[in-house]
């Protein structure tokens, strides 16, 4: 658990440094100071409110025990949370046809899990159970804080770089812009790229561990393996419009929701599905 706190600190420090670099490139010392102040505010916001922001972004609707349409889904999460010895998280449904799911929240006491309408229509009950167990494994490992913060920060870096492209750069004593428009354009691409690399370094290995623990929570690694295969196949056929508009949130999902294939090997935040399935099937042979 201490490792995730260290990673979270490193992530915040790294992205704060990126904010400073972008600000300096766009507006010199004044720009760097403003960017660092903005980064400090974003760190506070990301810690306390990033989970709510992501759920709102996806239009997630909370499911209560009284909701007859999703009562089975709610009770499934409740049973799995008890198996994992976790507090009951808030449960949400997202009106997206692409099958996918994610977990969020700063700690297990303030956690939430969300699944799309598409995943409920696509998977069997056992497969959905495996997926939600995987998401609860992220909660138990406290992965949710770092993934949600990284999504919020990466989106903010993209925004500040875009802002800098149009409005950045001070003027020298001769009245000329102190920052070349070419530099501004480079920063627009390089800053989000650097933020994406920070995300990638954090998120790949944790999916294997969440698969392993999720299989233990559900006691059904074979069903989780089947779910991953189905989600992977459908995710490339059915676009997730919110994820396409906010690609920094893609690393939160159980399977990469983005349809683009450019630079897949460099920027993919998930291990290859085939390798994840192979590991789960090896676990299944031991159960």
Q: For residues 224 and 133, is the Cβ–Cβ distance under 8 A?
A: yes
**Beta strand 111-116 with 61-63: parallel, antiparallel or unpaired?**
unpaired
180 pLDDT higher than 60:
no
DSSP output for 77-95: HHHHHHHTT-PPPEEEEE-
Per-residue model confidence (pLDDT) at position 20: 75
Does the structure show a pLDDT above 50 at 5?
A: yes
Highest mean pLDDT among 36-40, 108-112, 257-261: 108-112
pTM: 0.80
pLDDT in tens, 191-238: 566 666 556 556 668 899 999 999 999 999 999 999 999 999 998 899
- Half-sphere exposure of 208 toward its Cβ, with a 13 Å CA cutoff? 10
Tell me the pLDDT tens digit for each residue of 141-177.
Answer: 888 877 777 777 666 666 665 555 555 555 545 554 4
Catalytic residues: 135
Task: Report the pLDDT value the prediction gives residue 173, as an integer from 0 to 100.
Answer: 52
The DSSP code sequence of 214-261 is: HHHHHT-HHHHHHHHHHHHHHHTTS--HHHHH-GGGGGGBSS------
Q: Note the pLDDT tens digit of each residue in 61-77.
A: 999 999 989 999 999 99
Contacts of 47 (CB under 8 A, 6+ apart): 106, 145, 149
Angstrom distances, CA of residue 114 to CA of 17, 32, 66, 80 = 32, 37, 17, 14
Question: Chain-wide mean pLDDT for the chain?
Answer: 81
């Amino acid at each position: 658990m201490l490792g995730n706190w260290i990673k979270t600190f490193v992530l915040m420090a790294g992205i704060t440094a990126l904010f400073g670099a972008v600000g300096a490139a766009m507006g010199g010392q004044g720009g760097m100071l403003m960017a660092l102040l903005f980064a400090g505010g974003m760190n506070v916001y990301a810690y306390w409110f990033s989970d709510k922001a992501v759920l709102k972004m996806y239009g997630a609707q909370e499911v209560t025990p009284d909701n007859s349409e999703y009562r089975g889904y709610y009770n499934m999460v409740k049973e799995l949370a008890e198996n994992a010895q976790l507090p009951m998280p808030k449960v949400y449904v997202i009106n997206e046809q692409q099958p996918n799911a994610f977990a969020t929240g700063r700690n297990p006491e303030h956690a939430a899990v969300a699944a799309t309408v598409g995943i409920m229509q696509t998977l069997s009950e056992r497969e959905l159970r495996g997926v939600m167990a995987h998401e609860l494994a992220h909660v138990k490992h406290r992965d949710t804080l770092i993934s949600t913060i990284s999504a919020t920060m990466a989106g903010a870096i993209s925004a500040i770089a875009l802002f800098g492209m149009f409005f950045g750069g001070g003027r020298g004593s001769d009245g000329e812009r102190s920052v070349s428009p070419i530099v501004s354009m480079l920063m627009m691409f390089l800053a989000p790229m650097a933020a994406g690399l920070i995300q990638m370094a954090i998120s790949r290995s944790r999916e294997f561990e969440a698969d392993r623990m999720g299989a233990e929570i559900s006691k059904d690694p074979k069903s989780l393996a089947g779910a991953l295969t189905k989600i992977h196949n459908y995710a490339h056929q059915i676009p997730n419009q919110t994820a396409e508009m906010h690609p920094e949130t893609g690393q939160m999902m159980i399977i990469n929701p983005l349809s683009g294939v450019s630079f897949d090997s460099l920027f993919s935040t998930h291990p290859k599905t085939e390798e994840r399935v192979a590991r789960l099937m090896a676990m299944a042979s031991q159960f």
